Structure 1
Amino acid sequence: MPDSQPHSALVTIDTPLAPPRWALLQRQFLKVQAEACTEFYDKYFDGRGYLECVPRWGGDDGPDDAAENQLNWTMLHALGADDGILDLFRSGLEGHLRQYTEAKTVEVPMARDGMYYKEFPVSLDWFHHGEGLSPFLLYGLCDPYDANYIRRCRRFAGFYMDEDPQAPNYDPEHRIIRSMFNGSRGPLMRKATALDWTGDPIEVADRFALGHGERTYAEMLDHFREYTDIVGDHPLNLGATQLGLVAFAATGEEKYRQWLLEYVDAWVERTDDNGGIIPSNIGLDGTIGGETG
Structure 2
Amino acid sequence: MTKISPDIPVLEGGRTAPMPRWALLQRQVFSTLDQASIEFADRYTRPDGTLIWRDNWPGMDGSDDPYEGFMYMPLFYALGGSEEVYRRAQVIYDGITWQWTEYGQIHREFDAYYDWMHHGESSLFLYFLGLASPAGLKDRQRTKRFAGFYNGEDPDVQNYDAQLRLMRAPISGSRGPRFSHSGEDWSTHREILDRFPPPFEDLPGIDPYGRVCPWSDDATYELILKQMNARQAKGDVPLNLGATSLMAHAFMYDGEDRHRQWTVDYLDAWVERTEQNGGITPDNIGLSGQIGEYNDGKWWGGYYGWRWPHGAFSILDPITIAGLNGLLMTGDERHLDLARSQLDMLWSLRRDEDGQAVVPNRHFDEGWRDYRVVHPVYAVTLWNASMSDDDAERAERAWPNGQFEAIDTRYAGYGKTIGGHMAFNGNTAQWFRFIRGGDAAYPETLLASNLETIVQQIERFRSDAFDPLTMDHEAHPMGIHMWQQISPMVMEGLIQLTTGGPAHMGRGGLQLSRFRYFDAEKQRPGLPQDVAALVDHLEADVAGVTLVNTSATTARELIVQAGAFGEHSFTTVAVDGEAEQSISGRWVAVKLAPGAVTRLEFGMQRYANKPSYDTPWVRAVDAMPAIKGREL
Task: Give the TM-score range, shorter chain.
Answer: 0.7 to 0.9
For 1:198, the equivalent position in structure 2 comes to 187
Match of 2:27 in 1: 27
Contact 1:78 1:142 in 2 (8 A): yes
Q: Hey, what's the Cα distance between the residues in 2 that align with 1:144 and 1:220?
A: 49
Decide which structure has greater strand share. Answer: 2
Match 2:166 to one of 176, 186, 195: 176
Q: Structure 2: which 5+ residue stretches go unaligned?
A: 1-8, 196-213, 297-632
Structure 1: how far apart are the matches of 2:242 and 2:145?
Answer: 16
Quick check: 1:233 aligned with 2:236?
yes
For the residue of structure 2 that corresponds to 1:153, the secondary structure is helix
The aligned residue for residue 37 of structure 2 is 37
The 1:218/1:14 distance shift into structure 2, 3 A limit, reads: closer
TM-score after normalising by structure 1: 0.81
Q: Deviation of residue 170 (structure 1)? A: 0.3
- Structure 2 vs 1, CA of residues 261 and 12 (structure 1 numbering), >3 Å: closer, same or farther? closer
Hey, what's the Cα distance between the residues in 2 that align with 1:11 and 1:103? Answer: 53
- Say if 2:102 is the partner of 1:102: yes
Report the counterpart of residue 80 of structure 1 in structure 2: 80
Paired residues of 1:194 and 1:225 also in contact (CA < 8 A):
no
CA spacing shift, 1:230–1:184, aligned 2, 3 Å: same
Name the SS of the counterpart of 1:219 in structure 2. Answer: coil
Equivalent residue, structure 1, for 2:150: 160
In the alignment, the residues of structure 1 paired with residue 119 and residue 11 of structure 2 have an alpha-carbon distance, to the nearest angstrom, of: 50
* Separation in structure 2 between the aligned mates of residue 224 and residue 34 of structure 1, nearest angstrom: 48
Per the alignment, do residues 92 and 280 of structure 1 end up closer, same or farther by CA in structure 2, a change over 3 Å counting? same
Counterpart of 1:85 in structure 2: which amino acid? Answer: V
CA drift of 1:224 comes to 9.6
In the alignment, is residue 269 of structure 1 matched against residue 272 of structure 2? yes
| Mapped contact 1:50–1:95 kept (Cα < 8 A) | yes
Gaps of 5+ in 1: 1-8, 105-114, 202-209
Q: CA deviation at 1:136?
A: 1.4
**2:46 aligns to what?**
46
- C-alpha distance in 2, partners of 1:237/1:226? 22
| Paired residue type of 1:219 | S
Are residues 233 and 213 of structure 1, via their aligned partners in 2, closer, same or farther at CA, if it must alter by over 3 Å? closer
The answer to whether the 8 Å contact 1:56/1:63 transfers is: no
Q: Which amino acid aligns with 1:230?
A: A
Say yes or no: does 1:56 pair with 2:54.
no
Asked which structure has the greater CA Rg, the reply is 2
Moved more, 223-232 or 259-268: 223-232
Q: Give the structure 2 partner of residue 151 of structure 1.
A: 141
- The number of residue pairs the alignment matches comes to 263
* Residue 249 (structure 2) pairs with residue 249 (structure 1): no
Q: Secondary structure of the residue that 1:285 maps to in structure 2?
A: coil
The CA distance in 2 between the partners of 1:268 and 1:14, in whole Å, is: 51
User: What CA deviation, in whole Å up to 9, does each residue of 1:94-116 have, x standing for no partner?
Assistant: 11111122223xxxxxxxxxx21
TM-score under structure 2 length normalisation: 0.39
Q: Could you say which residue in structure 1 is the equivalent of 2:397?
A: none
Instruction: Summarize the Cα distance change of 1:213–1:180 in structure 2 as closer, same or farther, 3 Å threshold.
Output: closer
1:219 aligned onto 2:219 = no
**AA aligned opposite 2:109:** E
Give the Å deviation of 1:34.
2.5
1:194 Cα deviation from its structure 2 partner: 4.1
What letter corresponds to residue 56 of structure 1 in structure 2? Answer: W
Matches of 1:130 and 1:262, distance apart in 2: 20
The one-letter amino acid paired with 1:259 is W
Shift of 1:251: 1.0
Q: Tell me how large the CA RMSD over aligned residues is.
A: 2.7
Q: Quick one: distance in 2 between partners of 1:46 and 1:12?
A: 45
Quick check: 1:283–1:290 contact (8 Å CA) kept in 2? yes
AA partner of residue 189 (structure 1): F
Following superposition, the deviation at residue 218 of structure 1 comes to: 7.2
Counterpart CA distance in 1 for 2:123 and 2:11 is 45
Q: Displacement of 1:291 after TM fit?
A: 2.5
Cα distance in 1 for partners of 2:99, 2:252 equals 28
Superposed displacement of residue 212, structure 1: 6.2
Deviations along 1:120-167, one digit per CA (max 9) or x if unpaired, are: 010111121112121211211111221221111111111000111221
Aligned residue number for residue 108 of structure 1: none
Looking at structure 1, the residues matched to 285 and 249 of structure 2 have their Cα atoms a distance apart, in angstroms, of 26
Structure-2 separation of matches of 1:270 and 1:65: 32
Structure 2 CA distance for aligned equivalents of residues 198 and 53 of structure 1: 18
1:91, CA displacement in angstroms? Answer: 0.6
Work out the CA distance in 1 between the residues paired with 2:12 and 2:216. Answer: 69
